[in-house]
Structure 1
Amino acid sequence: MKELVCTTCGVQIESTETVPSQCPICTEYRQYVSPKGQTWTTLEEMVQSNTYQNDVSQEEQGLSSIKTVPSFAIGQTAYVVQGGNFNVLWDCITYLDPQTIETIQAMGGIDAIALSHPHYYSTQVEWAETFGAKIYIHEDDKQWVTRPSDRMIFWSGESFELAEGFILHRVGGHFKGATILEWENRNDGKGVLLTGDIVRVVADRNWVSFMYSYPNFIPLPATTVERMAAQLNDIRFDRVYDAFHRVIMEGADKAIQRSAKRYVDALNGVLFDT
Protein backbone atom coordinates (compact mmCIF):
# COMPACT_ATOMS: atom_id res chain seq x y z
CA MET A 1 0.00 0.00 0.00
CA LYS A 2 1.30 3.46 -0.91
CA GLU A 3 1.83 6.04 1.83
CA LEU A 4 -1.32 8.12 2.22
CA VAL A 5 -1.47 11.91 2.15
CA CYS A 6 -4.10 13.85 4.09
CA THR A 7 -5.90 16.17 1.68
CA THR A 8 -6.51 18.78 4.40
CA CYS A 9 -2.98 19.27 5.75
CA GLY A 10 -0.96 17.58 2.98
CA VAL A 11 1.13 15.50 5.40
CA GLN A 12 2.09 11.96 4.39
CA ILE A 13 1.72 9.12 6.89
CA GLU A 14 3.49 5.79 7.22
CA SER A 15 1.95 2.95 5.22
CA THR A 16 -0.57 0.83 7.14
CA GLU A 17 -2.66 -2.26 6.40
CA THR A 18 -5.90 -0.30 6.77
CA VAL A 19 -6.86 3.25 5.92
CA PRO A 20 -6.78 5.37 9.11
CA SER A 21 -9.99 7.09 10.13
CA GLN A 22 -8.17 10.24 11.22
CA CYS A 23 -5.08 12.28 10.45
CA PRO A 24 -2.99 12.77 13.62
CA ILE A 25 -1.92 16.24 12.48
CA CYS A 26 -5.45 17.49 11.81
CA THR A 27 -7.14 16.15 14.95
CA GLU A 28 -5.44 18.72 17.18
CA TYR A 29 -6.24 22.28 18.24
CA ARG A 30 -3.80 23.89 15.80
CA GLN A 31 -5.28 22.23 12.71
CA TYR A 32 -8.73 20.93 11.78
CA VAL A 33 -10.55 18.08 10.07
CA SER A 34 -12.35 19.13 6.90
CA PRO A 35 -16.11 19.63 7.41
CA LYS A 36 -16.50 17.12 4.56
CA GLY A 37 -14.68 14.49 6.59
CA GLN A 38 -11.27 12.83 6.44
CA THR A 39 -10.04 12.07 2.94
CA TRP A 40 -6.74 10.74 1.63
CA THR A 41 -4.78 10.70 -1.58
CA THR A 42 -1.26 9.60 -2.55
CA LEU A 43 1.58 11.42 -4.21
CA GLU A 44 1.33 8.99 -7.12
CA GLU A 45 -2.37 9.82 -7.61
CA MET A 46 -1.59 13.53 -7.55
CA VAL A 47 1.08 13.19 -10.23
CA GLN A 48 -1.05 10.93 -12.41
CA SER A 49 -4.01 13.30 -12.24
CA ASN A 50 -2.09 15.95 -14.25
CA THR A 51 -3.89 18.51 -12.09
CA TYR A 52 -0.91 20.05 -10.33
CA GLN A 53 2.40 21.63 -11.17
CA ASN A 54 5.03 23.41 -9.11
CA ASP A 55 5.91 27.02 -9.82
CA VAL A 56 9.62 27.48 -9.08
CA SER A 57 10.56 31.17 -9.06
CA GLN A 58 13.80 32.93 -8.21
CA GLU A 59 13.17 35.46 -5.43
CA GLU A 60 16.71 36.77 -5.26
CA GLN A 61 20.17 35.45 -5.93
CA GLY A 62 20.49 32.08 -4.19
CA LEU A 63 16.83 31.87 -3.16
CA SER A 64 13.97 30.24 -5.08
CA SER A 65 10.38 29.67 -3.99
CA ILE A 66 8.36 26.54 -4.78
CA LYS A 67 4.58 26.68 -4.74
CA THR A 68 2.02 24.15 -6.00
CA VAL A 69 -0.60 25.37 -8.50
CA PRO A 70 -3.51 25.01 -8.01
CA SER A 71 -3.09 25.25 -4.27
CA PHE A 72 -3.12 21.96 -2.36
CA ALA A 73 -3.93 21.44 1.34
CA ILE A 74 -2.49 24.32 3.43
CA GLY A 75 -0.89 25.89 0.36
CA GLN A 76 2.44 26.88 1.89
CA THR A 77 5.53 27.92 -0.03
CA ALA A 78 8.84 26.07 0.28
CA TYR A 79 12.22 27.61 -0.55
CA VAL A 80 15.48 26.34 -1.96
CA VAL A 81 18.30 28.32 -0.36
CA GLN A 82 21.65 27.96 -2.10
CA GLY A 83 24.96 28.27 -0.30
CA GLY A 84 28.43 28.01 -1.77
CA ASN A 85 28.32 24.21 -1.93
CA PHE A 86 25.32 23.40 0.26
CA ASN A 87 21.63 23.76 -0.63
CA VAL A 88 18.76 23.75 1.87
CA LEU A 89 15.10 23.07 1.24
CA TRP A 90 13.34 25.23 3.80
CA ASP A 91 10.00 23.72 4.73
CA CYS A 92 8.34 21.31 2.35
CA ILE A 93 5.33 20.94 0.10
CA THR A 94 3.47 17.76 -0.79
CA TYR A 95 3.68 17.75 -4.56
CA LEU A 96 6.85 16.45 -6.20
CA ASP A 97 6.99 15.52 -9.90
CA PRO A 98 9.72 14.81 -12.49
CA GLN A 99 9.74 18.42 -13.74
CA THR A 100 10.33 19.76 -10.22
CA ILE A 101 13.09 17.21 -9.66
CA GLU A 102 14.80 18.20 -12.91
CA THR A 103 14.57 21.91 -12.06
CA ILE A 104 16.04 21.47 -8.60
CA GLN A 105 18.79 19.15 -9.81
CA ALA A 106 19.81 21.89 -12.24
CA MET A 107 20.16 24.18 -9.21
CA GLY A 108 22.58 21.75 -7.58
CA GLY A 109 20.08 19.53 -5.77
CA ILE A 110 19.25 19.56 -2.06
CA ASP A 111 21.66 18.62 0.72
CA ALA A 112 19.37 19.23 3.69
CA ILE A 113 15.69 19.69 4.42
CA ALA A 114 14.93 21.88 7.43
CA LEU A 115 11.42 22.20 8.84
CA SER A 116 9.76 25.00 10.76
CA HIS A 117 7.03 22.82 12.29
CA PRO A 118 4.89 19.67 11.72
CA HIS A 119 2.21 21.23 9.49
CA TYR A 120 4.83 21.40 6.72
CA TYR A 121 6.30 17.90 7.07
CA SER A 122 4.20 16.98 4.00
CA THR A 123 6.11 14.43 1.85
CA GLN A 124 9.50 15.30 3.34
CA VAL A 125 10.70 11.68 3.21
CA GLU A 126 9.92 11.48 -0.53
CA TRP A 127 11.95 14.66 -1.09
CA ALA A 128 14.82 13.42 1.08
CA GLU A 129 15.02 10.09 -0.70
CA THR A 130 14.81 11.72 -4.12
CA PHE A 131 17.67 14.14 -3.49
CA GLY A 132 19.71 12.12 -1.00
CA ALA A 133 19.17 14.74 1.69
CA LYS A 134 19.01 14.67 5.49
CA ILE A 135 15.94 16.00 7.30
CA TYR A 136 16.45 18.31 10.29
CA ILE A 137 13.67 18.55 12.89
CA HIS A 138 13.89 19.90 16.43
CA GLU A 139 13.63 17.06 18.93
CA ASP A 140 10.73 18.78 20.71
CA ASP A 141 8.53 18.03 17.69
CA LYS A 142 9.64 14.44 17.21
CA GLN A 143 6.26 13.12 18.40
CA TRP A 144 4.55 14.68 15.35
CA VAL A 145 6.53 12.72 12.75
CA THR A 146 3.97 10.64 10.83
CA ARG A 147 6.42 8.86 8.53
CA PRO A 148 9.73 8.00 10.22
CA SER A 149 12.96 7.76 8.25
CA ASP A 150 16.60 7.09 9.03
CA ARG A 151 17.32 10.30 7.12
CA MET A 152 15.91 12.33 10.02
CA ILE A 153 18.20 14.14 12.41
CA PHE A 154 16.56 15.45 15.58
CA TRP A 155 18.59 18.38 16.80
CA SER A 156 18.41 19.87 20.28
CA GLY A 157 19.05 23.15 22.03
CA GLU A 158 18.25 26.66 20.86
CA SER A 159 20.36 26.82 17.69
CA PHE A 160 22.03 24.47 15.24
CA GLU A 161 24.44 25.25 12.39
CA LEU A 162 23.39 23.25 9.33
CA ALA A 163 26.36 24.46 7.30
CA GLU A 164 28.34 27.65 6.92
CA GLY A 165 25.85 30.48 6.56
CA PHE A 166 22.78 28.44 7.62
CA ILE A 167 21.66 28.46 11.26
CA LEU A 168 18.45 26.99 12.68
CA HIS A 169 16.92 28.69 15.71
CA ARG A 170 14.25 27.10 17.91
CA VAL A 171 11.95 29.95 18.96
CA GLY A 172 8.84 27.95 19.90
CA GLY A 173 5.40 29.51 19.88
CA HIS A 174 3.30 27.82 17.22
CA PHE A 175 4.86 24.49 18.29
CA LYS A 176 7.31 23.74 21.09
CA GLY A 177 10.05 22.97 18.58
CA ALA A 178 9.05 25.73 16.13
CA THR A 179 12.11 26.76 14.14
CA ILE A 180 13.29 29.56 11.86
CA LEU A 181 16.22 29.59 9.43
CA GLU A 182 18.85 32.33 9.54
CA TRP A 183 20.59 32.86 6.20
CA GLU A 184 23.66 34.75 7.31
CA ASN A 185 25.44 37.51 5.43
CA ARG A 186 22.88 37.74 2.63
CA ASN A 187 20.99 40.84 1.56
CA ASP A 188 24.24 42.84 1.31
CA GLY A 189 25.39 41.40 4.60
CA LYS A 190 22.25 42.43 6.50
CA GLY A 191 20.90 38.88 6.83
CA VAL A 192 17.69 37.08 5.89
CA LEU A 193 15.24 35.04 7.97
CA LEU A 194 12.90 32.35 6.67
CA THR A 195 10.20 31.92 9.25
CA GLY A 196 7.47 29.58 7.98
CA ASP A 197 4.45 30.82 9.87
CA ILE A 198 6.24 30.82 13.19
CA VAL A 199 6.44 34.52 12.40
CA ARG A 200 3.88 35.34 9.73
CA VAL A 201 3.91 38.46 7.58
CA VAL A 202 0.41 39.95 7.60
CA ALA A 203 -1.57 41.79 4.91
CA ASP A 204 0.14 45.05 5.86
CA ARG A 205 3.72 44.15 5.02
CA ASN A 206 5.01 46.46 7.77
CA TRP A 207 3.83 44.02 10.44
CA VAL A 208 3.94 40.35 11.43
CA SER A 209 1.93 38.15 13.77
CA PHE A 210 2.32 35.10 15.98
CA MET A 211 -0.34 32.45 16.67
CA TYR A 212 -0.86 29.11 18.38
CA SER A 213 -3.46 28.22 15.74
CA TYR A 214 -4.04 30.24 12.59
CA PRO A 215 -7.11 28.43 11.23
CA ASN A 216 -8.78 28.35 14.65
CA PHE A 217 -7.64 31.86 15.73
CA ILE A 218 -6.04 30.79 19.01
CA PRO A 219 -3.46 33.38 20.13
CA LEU A 220 -0.21 32.81 21.95
CA PRO A 221 0.28 34.07 25.52
CA ALA A 222 1.86 37.50 25.88
CA THR A 223 4.84 36.03 27.75
CA THR A 224 5.55 33.62 24.89
CA VAL A 225 5.53 36.41 22.29
CA GLU A 226 7.80 38.54 24.48
CA ARG A 227 10.25 35.65 24.77
CA MET A 228 10.19 35.04 21.01
CA ALA A 229 10.80 38.73 20.33
CA ALA A 230 13.78 38.73 22.71
CA GLN A 231 15.30 35.74 20.92
CA LEU A 232 14.75 37.29 17.50
CA ASN A 233 16.29 40.55 18.70
CA ASP A 234 19.60 38.70 19.13
CA ILE A 235 19.70 37.63 15.45
CA ARG A 236 21.00 39.96 12.75
CA PHE A 237 18.61 40.24 9.80
CA ASP A 238 16.82 42.85 7.73
CA ARG A 239 14.56 40.74 5.46
CA VAL A 240 11.93 38.06 6.17
CA TYR A 241 10.25 35.47 3.95
CA ASP A 242 7.25 33.68 5.43
CA ALA A 243 5.39 30.49 4.49
CA PHE A 244 2.86 32.16 2.24
CA HIS A 245 5.14 34.07 -0.11
CA ARG A 246 4.90 37.27 1.91
CA VAL A 247 8.09 39.26 2.30
CA ILE A 248 9.31 42.21 4.32
CA MET A 249 12.13 43.42 2.10
CA GLU A 250 13.82 45.74 4.59
CA GLY A 251 13.53 46.71 8.22
CA ALA A 252 12.08 43.30 9.13
CA ASP A 253 13.94 43.21 12.46
CA LYS A 254 12.24 46.42 13.58
CA ALA A 255 8.87 45.26 12.18
CA ILE A 256 9.00 42.11 14.31
CA GLN A 257 9.80 44.02 17.49
CA ARG A 258 7.04 46.59 17.06
CA SER A 259 4.61 43.82 16.02
CA ALA A 260 5.39 41.85 19.16
CA LYS A 261 4.74 44.92 21.28
CA ARG A 262 1.44 45.58 19.50
CA TYR A 263 0.41 41.93 19.96
CA VAL A 264 1.20 41.99 23.69
CA ASP A 265 -0.55 45.33 24.13
CA ALA A 266 -3.64 43.92 22.44
CA LEU A 267 -3.70 40.88 24.72
CA ASN A 268 -3.17 43.04 27.79
CA GLY A 269 -6.00 45.40 26.86
CA VAL A 270 -3.90 48.54 26.43
CA LEU A 271 -3.89 48.78 22.62
CA PHE A 272 -7.56 49.69 22.25
CA ASP A 273 -10.83 50.06 24.12
CA THR A 274 -13.75 48.24 22.53
Structure 2
Amino acid sequence: MSHPWVCATCANHYPEAESPPSTCHICADERQWVPPGGQRWTTLAELSAAGHRADIREIEPGLLGIGAAPQVAIGQRSLLVRTAEGNLLWDPSGFIDDDAVRAVREAGGLRAVSASHPHFYGSIVVWSEAFGAEILLPEVDASWLPRPSPAVRTWSGVLDVLPGVTLIQCGGHFPGSSVVHWAEGAGGAGALFTGDTIFVTPGEDRLTFVWSAPNRLPLPERDVRRVVDAVAPYAFDRIYGGWWTPVLREGAKDALRSSADRYIEFLRGEARTG
Protein backbone atom coordinates (compact mmCIF):
# COMPACT_ATOMS: atom_id res chain seq x y z
CA MET A 1 0.00 0.00 0.00
CA SER A 2 1.31 3.46 -0.88
CA HIS A 3 1.35 6.11 1.90
CA PRO A 4 3.65 8.84 3.22
CA TRP A 5 6.56 7.60 5.33
CA VAL A 6 7.56 9.23 8.60
CA CYS A 7 11.13 9.08 9.88
CA ALA A 8 10.90 7.58 13.38
CA THR A 9 13.82 9.71 14.61
CA CYS A 10 12.99 13.21 13.35
CA ALA A 11 9.33 12.70 12.25
CA ASN A 12 9.81 14.39 8.90
CA HIS A 13 7.39 13.17 6.23
CA TYR A 14 8.55 11.61 2.96
CA PRO A 15 6.57 11.06 -0.27
CA GLU A 16 3.98 8.35 -0.68
CA ALA A 17 5.50 5.05 -1.78
CA GLU A 18 5.04 1.32 -1.25
CA SER A 19 8.39 1.15 0.57
CA PRO A 20 10.34 3.83 2.46
CA PRO A 21 13.57 5.50 1.33
CA SER A 22 16.84 3.89 2.38
CA THR A 23 17.79 6.86 4.57
CA CYS A 24 16.38 10.08 5.96
CA HIS A 25 18.68 12.73 4.51
CA ILE A 26 17.87 15.06 7.39
CA CYS A 27 19.00 12.57 10.04
CA ALA A 28 22.08 11.60 8.00
CA ASP A 29 23.38 15.18 8.35
CA GLU A 30 25.78 15.85 11.26
CA ARG A 31 23.27 18.10 13.01
CA GLN A 32 20.93 15.14 13.56
CA TRP A 33 21.50 11.42 14.09
CA VAL A 34 20.61 7.94 12.84
CA PRO A 35 19.97 5.26 15.50
CA PRO A 36 22.83 2.75 16.00
CA GLY A 37 20.52 0.03 14.74
CA GLY A 38 19.92 1.89 11.49
CA GLN A 39 17.21 3.96 9.87
CA ARG A 40 13.67 3.35 11.14
CA TRP A 41 10.36 4.37 9.57
CA THR A 42 6.75 4.60 10.69
CA THR A 43 3.44 6.00 9.42
CA LEU A 44 0.73 8.22 10.86
CA ALA A 45 -1.56 5.20 11.03
CA GLU A 46 1.02 3.26 13.07
CA LEU A 47 1.55 6.19 15.41
CA SER A 48 -2.20 6.52 16.00
CA ALA A 49 -2.50 2.78 16.60
CA ALA A 50 0.31 3.06 19.17
CA GLY A 51 -1.77 5.56 21.13
CA HIS A 52 -0.45 8.93 20.02
CA ARG A 53 -3.02 11.73 20.04
CA ALA A 54 -3.04 15.47 19.45
CA ASP A 55 -2.24 17.53 22.53
CA ILE A 56 -3.92 20.95 22.15
CA ARG A 57 -3.42 23.80 24.62
CA GLU A 58 -4.26 27.49 24.86
CA ILE A 59 -0.92 29.11 25.66
CA GLU A 60 -1.92 32.77 25.86
CA PRO A 61 -4.64 34.83 24.17
CA GLY A 62 -4.24 34.44 20.42
CA LEU A 63 -1.77 31.55 20.66
CA LEU A 64 -2.58 27.84 20.48
CA GLY A 65 -0.09 25.00 20.98
CA ILE A 66 -0.48 21.67 19.16
CA GLY A 67 1.74 18.71 19.96
CA ALA A 68 1.47 14.96 20.41
CA ALA A 69 0.96 12.88 23.54
CA PRO A 70 3.02 10.83 24.00
CA GLN A 71 5.51 12.98 22.09
CA VAL A 72 6.79 11.78 18.71
CA ALA A 73 10.47 11.81 17.71
CA ILE A 74 12.11 15.18 18.54
CA GLY A 75 8.87 16.15 20.21
CA GLN A 76 8.36 19.76 19.14
CA ARG A 77 4.92 21.27 19.53
CA SER A 78 3.62 23.67 16.93
CA LEU A 79 2.35 27.18 17.61
CA LEU A 80 -0.73 28.62 15.94
CA VAL A 81 -0.73 32.41 16.06
CA ARG A 82 -4.13 33.93 15.30
CA THR A 83 -4.82 37.29 13.68
CA ALA A 84 -7.87 39.03 12.20
CA GLU A 85 -6.46 38.37 8.72
CA GLY A 86 -5.60 34.71 9.14
CA ASN A 87 -3.41 32.30 11.06
CA LEU A 88 0.17 31.01 10.87
CA LEU A 89 1.20 27.53 12.05
CA TRP A 90 4.83 27.35 13.14
CA ASP A 91 7.13 24.32 13.68
CA PRO A 92 4.54 21.60 12.96
CA SER A 93 4.85 18.38 14.90
CA GLY A 94 5.49 15.25 12.86
CA PHE A 95 2.20 13.90 14.17
CA ILE A 96 -1.16 15.16 12.95
CA ASP A 97 -4.65 13.73 13.41
CA ASP A 98 -8.29 14.73 12.89
CA ASP A 99 -8.48 16.38 16.32
CA ALA A 100 -5.55 18.66 15.49
CA VAL A 101 -7.07 19.64 12.15
CA ARG A 102 -10.44 20.24 13.78
CA ALA A 103 -8.88 22.51 16.42
CA VAL A 104 -7.17 24.62 13.77
CA ARG A 105 -10.35 24.82 11.70
CA GLU A 106 -12.27 26.02 14.76
CA ALA A 107 -9.53 28.61 15.36
CA GLY A 108 -10.00 30.04 11.86
CA GLY A 109 -7.92 27.78 9.61
CA LEU A 110 -4.53 28.51 8.11
CA ARG A 111 -3.13 31.12 5.75
CA ALA A 112 0.42 29.76 5.97
CA VAL A 113 2.63 27.19 7.66
CA SER A 114 6.35 27.55 8.30
CA ALA A 115 9.18 26.23 10.48
CA SER A 116 12.33 27.37 12.20
CA HIS A 117 14.57 24.83 10.40
CA PRO A 118 14.44 21.50 8.49
CA HIS A 119 14.37 19.27 11.59
CA PHE A 120 10.93 20.75 12.33
CA TYR A 121 9.34 20.54 8.88
CA GLY A 122 7.43 17.52 10.23
CA SER A 123 3.88 17.31 8.86
CA ILE A 124 4.11 20.68 7.09
CA VAL A 125 2.80 19.36 3.75
CA VAL A 126 -0.18 17.60 5.36
CA TRP A 127 -1.16 20.84 7.09
CA SER A 128 -0.82 22.76 3.84
CA GLU A 129 -3.03 20.31 1.97
CA ALA A 130 -5.66 20.28 4.73
CA PHE A 131 -6.19 24.06 4.49
CA GLY A 132 -4.83 25.10 1.10
CA ALA A 133 -2.15 27.06 2.98
CA GLU A 134 1.16 28.34 1.67
CA ILE A 135 4.34 26.66 2.89
CA LEU A 136 6.84 29.42 3.66
CA LEU A 137 10.46 28.22 3.57
CA PRO A 138 13.72 30.19 3.52
CA GLU A 139 15.12 29.92 0.01
CA VAL A 140 18.48 28.66 1.23
CA ASP A 141 16.91 25.71 3.10
CA ALA A 142 13.98 24.82 0.82
CA SER A 143 15.82 21.87 -0.74
CA TRP A 144 15.74 20.08 2.62
CA LEU A 145 11.95 19.59 2.42
CA PRO A 146 11.62 15.79 2.09
CA ARG A 147 8.13 15.79 0.58
CA PRO A 148 7.87 18.24 -2.35
CA SER A 149 4.79 20.45 -2.62
CA PRO A 150 3.56 23.03 -5.14
CA ALA A 151 2.45 25.16 -2.16
CA VAL A 152 6.04 26.09 -1.26
CA ARG A 153 6.87 29.81 -1.42
CA THR A 154 10.45 30.76 -0.67
CA TRP A 155 11.65 33.93 1.05
CA SER A 156 14.86 35.47 2.38
CA GLY A 157 15.75 37.99 5.05
CA VAL A 158 12.46 39.21 6.53
CA LEU A 159 8.88 38.39 5.57
CA ASP A 160 5.77 40.08 6.97
CA VAL A 161 3.31 37.19 6.91
CA LEU A 162 0.31 38.69 8.70
CA PRO A 163 -0.32 41.92 10.62
CA GLY A 164 2.12 41.87 13.55
CA VAL A 165 3.57 38.49 12.53
CA THR A 166 7.02 38.52 10.92
CA LEU A 167 9.43 35.78 9.85
CA ILE A 168 13.09 36.68 10.47
CA GLN A 169 15.97 34.69 8.97
CA CYS A 170 18.72 34.52 11.61
CA GLY A 171 20.98 31.75 10.32
CA GLY A 172 23.04 29.71 12.76
CA HIS A 173 21.83 26.15 13.23
CA PHE A 174 20.97 26.14 9.50
CA PRO A 175 21.65 28.98 7.04
CA GLY A 176 17.91 29.59 6.89
CA SER A 177 17.21 29.13 10.60
CA SER A 178 14.43 31.55 11.46
CA VAL A 179 12.20 32.91 14.19
CA VAL A 180 8.73 34.44 14.34
CA HIS A 181 8.22 37.85 15.87
CA TRP A 182 4.67 38.25 17.22
CA ALA A 183 4.08 41.87 18.13
CA GLU A 184 0.93 41.18 20.20
CA GLY A 185 2.53 38.41 22.25
CA ALA A 186 3.23 38.67 25.96
CA GLY A 187 0.38 41.11 26.46
CA GLY A 188 1.61 43.42 23.72
CA ALA A 189 5.26 43.44 24.84
CA GLY A 190 6.17 41.12 21.95
CA ALA A 191 7.28 37.49 21.73
CA LEU A 192 9.65 35.39 19.65
CA PHE A 193 9.05 31.78 18.56
CA THR A 194 12.57 30.42 18.14
CA GLY A 195 12.54 26.64 17.66
CA ASP A 196 16.21 25.60 17.63
CA THR A 197 17.49 29.00 16.50
CA ILE A 198 17.68 30.20 20.11
CA PHE A 199 17.32 27.68 22.97
CA VAL A 200 15.63 28.53 26.25
CA THR A 201 17.54 26.84 29.08
CA PRO A 202 15.80 24.75 31.80
CA GLY A 203 15.89 27.48 34.45
CA GLU A 204 13.89 29.77 32.13
CA ASP A 205 16.36 32.57 32.86
CA ARG A 206 18.87 32.42 30.01
CA LEU A 207 19.39 31.33 26.41
CA THR A 208 21.91 29.42 24.36
CA PHE A 209 22.84 28.40 20.82
CA VAL A 210 24.01 25.22 19.07
CA TRP A 211 25.14 23.90 15.72
CA SER A 212 23.91 20.45 16.78
CA ALA A 213 21.99 19.73 19.98
CA PRO A 214 22.20 15.90 19.92
CA ASN A 215 25.86 15.90 18.87
CA ARG A 216 26.85 18.70 21.29
CA LEU A 217 28.45 20.93 18.65
CA PRO A 218 28.61 24.66 19.48
CA LEU A 219 27.72 27.58 17.24
CA PRO A 220 30.60 29.83 16.10
CA GLU A 221 30.80 33.39 17.38
CA ARG A 222 30.00 35.00 14.03
CA ASP A 223 26.74 33.03 13.83
CA VAL A 224 25.74 33.84 17.41
CA ARG A 225 26.22 37.54 16.67
CA ARG A 226 24.20 37.22 13.47
CA VAL A 227 21.27 35.71 15.38
CA VAL A 228 21.31 38.47 17.99
CA ASP A 229 21.66 41.22 15.37
CA ALA A 230 18.77 39.81 13.30
CA VAL A 231 16.23 40.20 16.12
CA ALA A 232 17.68 43.39 17.64
CA PRO A 233 15.26 45.74 15.79
CA TYR A 234 12.20 44.05 17.31
CA ALA A 235 10.54 44.51 20.69
CA PHE A 236 10.05 41.27 22.65
CA ASP A 237 9.78 40.30 26.29
CA ARG A 238 9.10 36.55 25.95
CA ILE A 239 10.67 33.65 24.03
CA TYR A 240 8.95 30.37 23.21
CA GLY A 241 11.34 27.63 22.11
CA GLY A 242 10.37 24.46 20.29
CA TRP A 243 8.70 22.63 23.18
CA TRP A 244 6.00 23.22 25.78
CA THR A 245 8.70 24.13 28.28
CA PRO A 246 10.96 25.84 29.06
CA VAL A 247 9.72 29.36 28.18
CA LEU A 248 11.60 32.59 28.96
CA ARG A 249 8.58 34.46 30.21
CA GLU A 250 9.91 37.99 30.74
CA GLY A 251 13.02 40.06 30.23
CA ALA A 252 13.88 38.11 27.09
CA LYS A 253 15.61 40.88 25.14
CA ASP A 254 18.12 41.64 27.88
CA ALA A 255 18.57 37.93 28.60
CA LEU A 256 19.40 37.26 24.95
CA ARG A 257 22.10 39.92 24.89
CA SER A 258 23.72 38.83 28.16
CA SER A 259 23.47 35.12 27.28
CA ALA A 260 25.13 35.69 23.92
CA ASP A 261 27.96 37.62 25.58
CA ARG A 262 28.50 34.79 28.08
CA TYR A 263 28.41 32.13 25.35
CA ILE A 264 31.03 34.02 23.33
CA GLU A 265 33.28 34.31 26.40
CA PHE A 266 33.33 30.51 26.58
CA LEU A 267 34.01 30.17 22.84
CA ARG A 268 36.99 32.51 23.17
CA GLY A 269 38.30 30.82 26.32
CA GLU A 270 37.80 34.07 28.26
CA ALA A 271 35.07 32.93 30.66
CA ARG A 272 35.83 33.10 34.35
CA THR A 273 34.51 29.96 36.03
CA GLY A 274 34.71 28.24 39.40
TM, length-normalised to structure 2: 0.95
Structure-to-structure mapping, 1:80-91, within 5 angstroms: 80-91=80-91
Q: What letter is aligned with 1:71?
A: Q
Confirm whether residue 232 of structure 1 aligns to residue 231 of structure 2: yes
**1:133: how far off?**
1.1
Q: What corresponds to 1:172 in structure 2?
A: 171
Moved more, 24-33 or 109-118: 109-118
User: Could you say which residue in structure 1 is the equivalent of 2:118?
Assistant: 118
Paired position in structure 1 for 2:36? 35
Q: Measure, in 2, the Cα distance between the counterparts of 1:84 and 1:268.
A: 47
The match for 2:271 is: 271
Per-residue CA deviation, residues 111-147 of structure 1 (Å, 9 max, x unaligned), is: 2101110001112111111122111000010121111
Contact 2:158 2:169 (8 Å CA) reproduced: yes
SS of alignment partner, residue 56 of structure 2: strand
- The reply on whether 1:20 has 2:52 as its aligned counterpart is no
The CA deviation at 1:96 is 1.2
Q: Distance between the aligned counterparts of 1:243 and 1:61, measured in 2?
A: 19
SS at match of 1:174: coil
Q: What is the SS of the residue equivalent to 2:192? A: strand
| CA contact 1:180–1:198 (8 Å) conserved in 2 | yes
Check the 8 A contact 2:200/2:207 in 1, yes or no: yes
Greater shift in the superposed pair: 181-190 or 214-223 = 181-190
Structure 2 vs 1, CA of residues 50 and 216 (structure 1 numbering), >3 Å: closer, same or farther? Answer: closer
Q: In the aligned structure 1, how far is the partner of 2:41 from the partner of 2:132?
A: 27
In 1, distance between residues paired with 2:104 and 2:20? 33
CA 160–215 in structure 1, closer or farther in 2 if over 3 Å, else same: same
**1:50 CA drift (Å):** 5.1
Q: For residues 214 and 188 of structure 1, what CA distance do their matches in structure 2 show?
A: 31
Structure 2 residue matching 1:15: 3-state secondary structure: strand
CA-to-aligned-CA distance 1:141-179 (integer Å, 9 cap, x gap): 0121111101111112x1011121111000000000001
Distance in 1 (CA, whole Å) between partners of 2:20 and 2:114 is: 29
Query: Could you tell me the percent identity over the aligned residues?
Result: 36
Query: What displacement does 1:5 show?
Result: 0.6
Amino acid at match of 1:34: P
Judging by fraction of residues, say which structure has more strand: 2
Which residue in the other structure is 1:141 paired with? Answer: 141
Secondary structure of the 2:181 match is strand
Structure 1 position 185, deviation (Å): 3.4
* Residues 1:75 and 2:75 aligned together: yes
Change in 2 beyond 3 A, CA 1:19/1:100: closer
Q: Note if 1:54 corresponds to 2:54.
A: yes
1-structure distance, mates of 2:116, 2:185:
20
Letter in 2 for 1:43: L
Q: SS state of the match for residue 254, structure 2? A: helix
Residue by residue over 1:177-214, the C-alpha shift from the partner in whole angstroms, topping out at 9 and shown as x without a partner, is 00100111333331111111110101121101110100
Q: Alpha-carbon deviation of 1:273? A: 5.4
1:214 aligns with 2:213: yes
Offset of residue 103 of structure 1 = 1.7
Q: Secondary structure at the match of 2:266?
A: helix
Paired amino acid for 2:51: T
**Structure 2 CA distance, aligned partners of 1:110 and 1:29?**
33
Which amino acid letter does the alignment assign opposite residue 74 of structure 1?
I
8 Å CA contact 1:233, 1:257 repeated in 2 = no
| Contact 1:91–1:120, Cα closer than 8 Å, also in 2 | yes
State how far apart, in whole Å, the 2-side matches of 1:217 and 1:33 are. Answer: 15
In structure 2, what is the equivalent of residue 250 of structure 1? 250
C-alpha distance in 1 between matches for 2:228 and 2:81? 24
| Amino acid aligned to 1:30 | R
Gap runs ≥5 in structure 1:
none
Question: Aligned Cα RMSD in Å?
Answer: 1.4
C-alpha distance in 1, partners of 2:220/2:186? 32
- 2:17 pairs with 1:10: no
8 Å CA contact 2:169, 2:230 repeated in 1:
no
Partner of 1:185: 184
Tell me the number of residue pairs that the alignment of Structure 1 and Structure 2 aligns.
272
Note the C-alpha offset of 1:17: 5.7
Provide the residue aligned with 1:200 in structure 2: 199
Residue 92 (structure 1) aligns with: 92
